[in-house]
């Protein structure tokens, strides 16, 4: 069945189309053209793509059941996310293998034909265990592993090839070999939880690393004589960089610096959302340990432990912190993560792409979403 969708304007990957007319069939865009003025005041954008999220609705991806993973997907859709990468955290190897198996089933069984709109998991982000003890954040020290191709192969086998993104710490023994192996197998490598120097970071980039995990957080600080991992990533025009734009993990002034340095083409918004997202203050799980949420801040032993940020709020915060227009902010939350992963088709808003949109009013307030013909408010 064909359906028509119109709006005042459509913000695309590169610009905007006034008075768009979209034809949709079976949840995908069939055609897109510009028509005459139609009286609408709404703006359509691409749905968001969160590549770094650990859970929501009290459910953590390291232990969530299939039904709980589905519940997280429905919550993310309400906040404008069309696709996402469920993200692990460092834990015991057996627990990680079990989580990867469950997440792989959820990805394989994912469908847009359900009874309610849902964000679709399209791969796994393996955050840990190949990270630095010096910059582990809240990742349990006892579960950190030295980079190992053999252990990565076990993880990927359990995930049935669904690991699409892996956080690694430059500077660790054997990390360059693992970066080269993962990259050759189609897995993107993002650098994080690292005390690496500039030279160690450059070596990781040369080996194939393409992005950084929550820049500034859990990594060597910028120094004017040793740029380290932070300064090197800011300086490189060919490397993407995540940021958690909640005003807590990164001060708004540093968000502005990150945005100026990485620009509209390489900056990526992520949430690092935990099982506490969408829930009241309290105690929640993150992997095999707990975090306390008070006044919206996630802490474990006094250390920031993920967030309760949602992507619609991150987009709003970026506009407020930097003055970026809506179209730019949305691209950081949709086009850029998709491009980094080589999944541009998921957010392209071109014929054949999923008909997933966020809907904004004339003053830039988000009204809801449209997923495969379902309108979510």
List active site positions.
272
Q: Is 269 left (phi over 0), alpha (psi -120 to 50) or beta?
A: beta
What are the two backbone dihedrals, phi and then psi, of residue 289, each rounded to the nearest 5 degrees?
-135, 175
Cα separation of 122 and 267, whole Å? Answer: 21
Cα separation of 165 and 163, whole Å? Answer: 6
Cα 105–356–367 angle (5° rounding)?
Answer: 120
Q: For the sheet containing 297-300, what is the strand order?
A: 282-286, 289-294, 297-300, 303-304
Look up residue 262 and give its two tokens: 């990485």
Q: Within a 10 A sphere around the Cβ of 42, how many other Cβ atoms?
A: 16
Cα separation of 283 and 305, whole Å? Answer: 12
Q: Under a CB-based contact definition with an 8 Å cutoff, are residues 172 and 132 in contact?
A: yes
């Amino acid at each position: 069945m064909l359906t028509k969708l119109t709006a005042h304007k459509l913000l695309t990957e590169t610009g905007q189309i006034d008075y768009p007319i979209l034809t949709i069939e079976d949840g995908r865009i069939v055609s897109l053209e510009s028509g005459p003025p139609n009286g609408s005041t709404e703006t359509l954008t691409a749905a968001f793509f969160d590549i770094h999220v650990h859970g929501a609705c009290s459910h953590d991806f390291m232990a969530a059941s299939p039904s709980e993973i589905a519940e997280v997907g429905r919550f993310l859709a309400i906040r404008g996310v069309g696709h996402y990468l469920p993200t692990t955290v460092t834990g015991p190897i057996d627990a990680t293998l079990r989580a990867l198996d469950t997440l792989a089933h959820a990805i394989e069984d994912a469908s847009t034909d359900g009874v309610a709109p849902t964000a679709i998991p399209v791969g796994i982000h393996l955050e840990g265990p190949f990270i630095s003890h010096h910059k582990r954040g809240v990742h349990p020290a006892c579960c950190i592993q030295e980079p190992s191709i053999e252990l990565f192969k076990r993880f990927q086998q359990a995930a049935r090839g669904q690991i699409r993104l892996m956080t690694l710490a430059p500077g660790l023994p054997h990390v360059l070999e693992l970066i080269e192996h993962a990259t050759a197998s189609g897995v993107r490598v993002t650098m994080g939880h690292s005390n690496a120097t500039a030279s160690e970071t450059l070596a990781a980039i040369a080996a194939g690393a393409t992005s950084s995990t929550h820049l500034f957080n859990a990594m060597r600080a910028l120094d004017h004589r040793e740029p380290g991992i932070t300064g090197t990533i800011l300086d490189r025009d060919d490397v993407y960089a995540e940021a958690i734009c909640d005003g807590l993990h990164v001060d708004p002034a540093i968000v502005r610096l990150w945005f100026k340095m990485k620009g509209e083409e390489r900056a990526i918004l992520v949430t690092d959302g935990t099982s506490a997202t969408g829930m009241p203050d309290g105690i929640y799980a993150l992997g095999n340990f707990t975090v306390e949420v008070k006044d919206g801040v996630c802490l474990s032993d006094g250390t920031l432990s993920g967030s309760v940020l949602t992507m619609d709020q991150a987009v709003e915060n970026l506009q407020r912190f930097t003055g970026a227009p809506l179209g730019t902010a949305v691209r950081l939350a949709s086009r850029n993560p998709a491009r980094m992963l080589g999944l541009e088709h998921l957010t392209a808003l071109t014929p054949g792409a999923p008909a997933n949109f966020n809907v904004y009013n004339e003053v830039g307030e988000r009204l809801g979403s449209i997923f495969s013909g379902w309108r979510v408010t």
